[in-house]
Amino acid sequence: MLKLLFIADPLENFKVYKDTSLAMMNASHLAGHQVYFANANSLGAKSTGVHASCEYIQIDKKLAPWFKVISTQDLPLHHFDAVIMRQDPPFHVEYLANTWLLSQAEREGAIILNSPTALREHSEKISILEFSEYISPTIVTRSIDEIKYFHQQYLDIVIKPLDGMGGMGVFRVGPDGLNIGSIVETLGEYGKRSLMAQKYLPEITDGDKRLIIINGQAVPYVLARVPQKGDIRGNLAAGGVGQARPISDRETQIALHLGPILSKRGLFLIGIDIIGTSLTEINVTSPTGFVEITKQTGFDVAKFWLEQLERTLTEK
């Protein structure tokens, strides 16, 4: 039996019908492990080490609320067999502070997944540049002139902030270049913030595909998030419809390359986004999609995640 601590945003905010963190907790509970929860805002440090206010919970998804708090204790993170970091983005200064605390907890003996060092070093947008052979034409810049020149080259582009999530702040600029100046000025705060621009991929109409990799191994299905009419964003949070599909040869190729590299860096769970054949993002903070794939295919992603976690802890 393992003692597992999940660090996340408040339990009351979980969407019970689709929440990946809940699916992970429930799989752990059903396997007989002890499940603890700590609000990301409760992390701190004192002479006994990095600690958090930890709630030991029982789970029953059929009830409302779906969890029951059995006890609450202030505990050091090294008290647990593993700490699962599931705090949602954006990656702001308090998120950064939590990764510093988690790095200290690692020095005290805690096992943190995903590694706080890896979380800090892998921007979900910029990290794709390491694997340039798989991406579409892309630039990162604060310069409106560079983005305008990029638009002249490709005529149809997408502009997005580096710290966006759920499709927030994503704009398409077509051949007429309409509003490109105001979009870049608004998103980039007149040159104060870096933006990413990418060539528009018309394959988005077939879905923005989420490929889940756990412990370096790809889940055999992707979740294609298909935009609704009049939108370019497939994100489920932006109204996209999720369709589970068998993993393709191209997606397998990307997974076989990226998976082992990122796993060795401490990225136990990642969600790779692919449009057409192009890699567009590498999600490392709190990747989702477990529930939709499981419901549509019968492949229990949370159970697979737990099996890989148990194997990893046995090997340590």
Distance CA 178, CA 44 (A): 48
Strand partners for 283: 271
208 catalytic? Reply is no
Over residues 7-43, the pLDDT tens digits come to 999 999 999 999 999 999 999 999 999 999 999 999 9
Residue 239: pLDDT band with limits 50, 70, 90: low
225 catalytic? Reply is yes
Sheet holding 208-214, edge to edge: 241-246, 217-226, 208-214, 269-275, 278-283
Mean pLDDT of the residues in the chain: 94
User: Per the residue annotation, which of 160, 199, 209, 303 is the catalytic one?
Assistant: 160
283 catalytic? Reply is yes
Rounded to whole angstroms, what are the CA distances from 61 to 29, 31, 74, 279?
11, 15, 26, 35
Q: What does pTM read for this prediction?
A: 0.92
Which SS3 state, helix, strand or coil, does residue 11 take? helix
Which DSSP helix (H) or strand (E) runs through 235?
none
For the chain, which domains are there? 3-116 (3.40.50.20), 137-200 (3.30.1490.20), 203-315 (3.30.470.20)
Q: What pLDDT score does 227 carry?
A: 81
307 catalytic? Reply is no
125 catalytic? Reply is yes
Residue in this structure with the two tokens 């003692």, named with its chain if needed? 3
User: Per the residue annotation, which of 86, 125, 209, 303 is the catalytic one?
Assistant: 125
107 catalytic? Reply is no
Q: What pLDDT score does 273 carry?
A: 96
User: Per the residue annotation, which of 55, 281, 292, 303 is the catalytic one?
Assistant: 281
Residue 233: pLDDT band with limits 50, 70, 90: low
Over residues 166-224, the pLDDT tens digits come to 667 899 999 999 999 999 999 999 899 999 999 999 999 999 999 999 999 999 999 99
Over residues 103-133, the pLDDT tens digits come to 999 999 999 999 999 999 999 999 999 999 9
Q: What pLDDT score does 3 carry?
A: 98
SS3 content of the chain, % helix, strand, coil (to 5): 35, 30, 35
Inter-helix orientation angle 180-188/144-154, to 10°: 140
120 catalytic? Reply is no
Distance CA 81, CA 3 (A): 5
User: Per the residue annotation, which of 210, 215, 235, 251 is the catalytic one?
Assistant: 210
281 catalytic? Reply is yes
Q: Which of 111, 110, 10 is nearest to 55 (CA)?
A: 10
What is the percent of the chain where pLDDT is above 70? 95
